[in-house]
Amino acid sequence: MTPEVAIALLPFAKFLGAGIAIGAGAIGPGIGIGLIVMGALQAIGRNPEAENSVRLYMFIGIAFAEGVAIYALMITFLLLFVL
Amino acid sequence: MSKLYPLLRIIVIVVIIALVSRLILPVGTPTLSVRGEQIPGWFLNLGFTSIPITNSLLATWFTMLVLVILAFLTTRNVSLVPGKLQNIMELAVEAIYNLVLDGVGPKWVGRIFPLVATMFMLILLSNFISVAVPVISAVGFKEVHEGKEILIPIFRSPSADLNFTVALALISVILTQVYGVMANGFFSYFNRFFQVGAIIQAIQGKKHPAMAGLDIFVGLIEFVSEVAKIISFSFRLFGNIFAGEVLLLIVASFVSLGLPLIFLGFETFIAFIQAFVFAVLTMSFMSLAIAGHEEEAEGH
């Protein structure tokens, strides 16, 4: 591969990398958030009086799981706009 | 089918409106910028240096102004029988107060509640600015940049600027350490990260050296996770709000009527949830920091 071809392929690689980063990075947090909400709903179903505190911890857990997806999103933004 | 029919009709009408609006009201592709744009020619002169004023800084000042005016209007005539505004604010403040009271207990609520409530309100308002991004990003200054004429919006949501979120994350994490030291004492708090106590116990022969080494390792991991909090706090808020802005702009550039409404509702929800999550995480990390010593005392 000559240097000219490599330079011409750079934007292509950038877009491909950005797409793969967010696409693959969203799999794990998606499963994680699903599991968290499943657990929370089961807990509420078994003990409806605990709904308020379960909801609070559910949102905290979702925030942690979602943080991983946000890291992937940051990589995507880095690839698209900064690098 | 008879139940579904009105819903189907609404969906068909929305799709038709969306398609027609695509033809009649075409929208250009939005320009996106990860960092806050500097407003041309605006500087804050401090004598020895001058700070460029970005549009997110302007929006932060606007948010602060709104909060101050709101606080002034609410507390101007406080009465036992609250008026409309006072009633709403009392409801909000009381809800946050009860949350913090449940989280950190009555001894620390006086110190932690003002911080958490202020963070919540500031972040909530600045997130709401980001929901209005399809309107806001159309108002601004024109500037010629590298031969192209670009529009610099006069406002940009503070939460969509990394400077704002990193500042908030630093405040949150550093104050967590300060409260931890205030509650547990300097050595007993930092012993959690750099376990000098384990080394001393190993030398005295009260603890197996391997266990002491494990303790030290766990402490170091704890320290790393403390530093990583800054990154996760700031990037969570920034990523969510900036991604929301991008989503709104791109949806609005596909279809200008109808469809963006759904996403506006969704982003309003996200704005609230992110402010809530930031405040609640700050609170729960602080409650962990101030409670550590008592837990250990109970354990032994």
Q: Please indicate whether, in this complex, the C-beta atoms of A70 and B239 are within 8 angstroms of each other.
A: yes
Residues 6+ apart with CB under 8 A from B297: none
Contact B127, B159 (CB under 8 A): yes
Whole-number Å distance between alpha carbons of B150 and B133: 17
Whole-number Å distance between alpha carbons of B52 and B30: 24
Q: Which residue of A has its CA nearest to B283?
A: A60
B243 CB within 8 Å of a chain A CB: yes
CATH number of A3-81: 1.20.20.10
Contact B133, B157 (CB under 8 A): yes
Q: Please indicate whether, in this complex, the C-beta atoms of A81 and B243 are within 8 angstroms of each other.
A: no
B101 CB within 8 Å of a chain A CB: no
CA distances from B139 to B42, B150, B153, B156, B162 (A): 17, 12, 5, 10, 22
* DSSP type of residue B36: P
Distance from CA of B243 to the nearest CA of A (A): 8
For chain B, 300 residues long, give each residue's pLDDT as a single digit of tens: 567 788 888 888 877 877 777 777 666 666 677 777 777 777 777 777 778 888 888 889 999 999 999 888 888 877 777 778 888 888 889 999 998 888 888 888 888 999 999 999 999 999 998 888 877 877 777 777 776 777 778 888 888 888 899 999 999 999 999 999 988 888 888 888 888 888 888 888 787 888 888 888 888 888 888 888 898 899 889 988 988 888 888 888 777 777 788 889 989 998 998 999 999 999 988 988 887 654 444 444
Distance from CA of B103 to the nearest CA of A (A): 10
Distance from CA of B278 to the nearest CA of A (A): 9
Distance from CA of B240 to the nearest CA of A (A): 7
Which of B34, B232, B277 is opposite residue A77, by nearest beta carbon? B34
> pTM higher than 0.80, yes or no?
yes
Q: Please indicate whether, in this complex, the C-beta atoms of B239 and A73 are within 8 angstroms of each other.
A: yes
Query: B148: which strand partners?
Result: B145
User: What residue spans define the domains of chain B?
Assistant: 4-299
H or E element: which one contains B150?
strand B148-153
Please identify which residue in the block is written with the tokens 């449940």. B102
Size of interface A-B (CB pairs under 8 A): 36
